[in-house]
Structure 1
Amino acid sequence: MCICKASEGIAQLLNRKWFLSRPDTLIQPVLISSGKPDAFDVHGLHFSSPKESKRILDSPGVFHVIRDDLLHPLMGGNKLRKLDALVPLLQSASVTDVITCGGCQSGHAAALAVACSESGLRARLLLRGERLSVPTGYNLISGMYGEVIYIPRSEYAERDDMLRKYAKSVAGGGTVVQIKDIRANFDGTFEQSQSIGIGQTSKKVAVVKEGASDVIALLGLIRLVDYLSQPCLLGSNRRLQLVIDCGTGTTAIGVALAIWILRLPWKVIGVMLVGALKDFKNLERKLLDDFKEMWHQDTDCGITREGLETCLEWVKRPRPRKFGNVLEGEIQTCQKVARETGILLDPIYTLAAWEVSSNLALSGKEETVMLHTGGTMSLFGVAQRYPSQF
């Protein structure tokens, strides 16, 4: 049986109600063999004996994949980790309606809608652009579990004003609350009702940022790293490189913060998919400041920006492009990986982490681990745009 060795401060920080009943996840080894970085053979590893397992795992070209994509049939991956502490917090504040925003095929919006419906909350989703002629993928899930409103791109450009406006319209005679205010007033108890009555008319509306890029999202990621650091899993003494594909960068920042707090000899490689380095650095600074303000006394571990930066490196994806575009051969690579390993990637997000992990594993310098952030349902949207490639 694995025994968690979290510090007293971490134990106190993680002593709360969670959306996920357990932090468990599957870790799958993969062997890459290749003469070219962009043309490799992929093999899922299946061992007949412990001796064979050790021999192969010690060879170059092996990395591990944290299968967070398997956490939930509809909202697996980092989207769910970021909601792990947030949803119970909303329940504790007697929130009735939650508003967020995202692209037409936003995995975050869909995950929040599913989580809200499972928790007795109503989700209102502001999606950028026009209604699809045939809803599919995350867009379909968003419409099934939440109320979708399509926002013109010109209005969506001013996200804060847009969210504020629609939150007020939904609240009516009720109230609008910000996540930061709920956090500040949270006393650590969860005694209030965790569901809303059908006849309830007074609304309490909470606004969740695009991508759930709020400091509360970091707690679910810290919980994940604490789980992974157990001796029977990744352990706390091995030097590891954790590769994460990054939209907003919140996931990479949360994992790196956990590594620093737990003093693990690990490092996060954050693969930037959209935006400039300064955008990720700005979010890094903001989330760290918010975290120190909220929980520094609980963790008591001397958190500094310099300390965080020793655990986090931002890199560009191997083949940069305008976000959302798919390059020649990428869909075929995703097909190859799926057929040979059972791991489903998408060409927009997780393929970038796979490419970086493959190159690092082939270099053989340090053990490499890829965090699968899910998002594979976005393949439906990609198929609509590139039908001839499927």
Structure 2
Amino acid sequence: MKTNTIDAVQDQFETFQILSEDGEVVNEAAMPELSDEQLQELMRRMVYTRIWDQRAISLNRQGRLGFYAPVAGQEASMLGTQFALDKEDWILPGYRDIPQLVFHGLPLYKAFLYSRGHFEGGQIPEGVNVLMPQIIIGAQIIQAAGFGLGLKKKGKKNVAITYTGDGGASQGDFYEGLNFAGAYKANAIFVVQNNRFAISVPVEKQSAAKTIAQKAVAAGIEGIQVDGMDVLAVYAATQQARERAVNGEGPTLIETLTYRYGPHTMAGDDPTRYRTKELDDEWTKKDPLVRFRKFLEGKKLWSEEQENKVVDQAKEDIKEAIKKADGAAKQKVTDLIGFMFEELPYNLKEQMEEYKAKESK
């Protein structure tokens, strides 16, 4: 018998939005309770991150940074989710999610050292509740499910939030993690930043599902699709997901519809090979900074002078952070070997002695 079950499910996942592309409020009932100062801080963070991203790309091209995944276009998705967290919540990031870590407390110079592959970039300061970025696509989903269950078993009123892209939602770990977290009502939030192309494959070719958010249904958890260029909608959706989790109502899958304006990473990706100029132009009109700027200007909460101060501060902070990263001790092979085990196995003991001799010359 023919049914339309799939359509019935998919049609329930309409995109949640608060601000239009012109910065107008289109969903007054969903407006989060944020003070003027908090709204300004959200804008400050997005502007700061855009400047940081531009500078990081330049530093990468100069050979002064290592691995880097551009974030321009995804600021609302990244920072709107992090802004809804408590300091005691835990972030389990993917490799693009460095801004969330820094605004959760990771020093900027350590983010630069991480990019360079320096071990000090992975030494998290006490009291900063983040893990280092996961390089294996989707593996952080499994980790967040377990982490969220651990928080629940300890009676913590906190959550573990993790991020992946639309490509990550095609991995087996994604489905296993959601299923496990749903079965045990883990204190977890799963954010899929759907920037449409993963590395280069259009989302329509990755899955027959109309939305990624609807995949929550099979795991028995809440799912929502959000306009990822609308920082207020992202914040509100994350805040609600966090409340559900800490109240014992289980995890949430949040799909943010967003767009990365740059390449997938600076490691040779050329987005012009799989994206059209027309599509780039379409998403440029949805720029999260432009949208939120219009909203704040309409409320007399933002000005060109304020923005210029943020730009100058970002440039100064980046200059100081790079200087501090440059001052880190040169990494040695013996450092890497020594960090691997509490007690070295025999083969590494041999290598340790070999490299100690080389490094002493």
When normalised by structure 1's length, the TM-score is 0.31
Report which of the two has the higher share of helix: 2
More strand by share: 1
Q: TM-score, normalised by structure 2?
A: 0.33
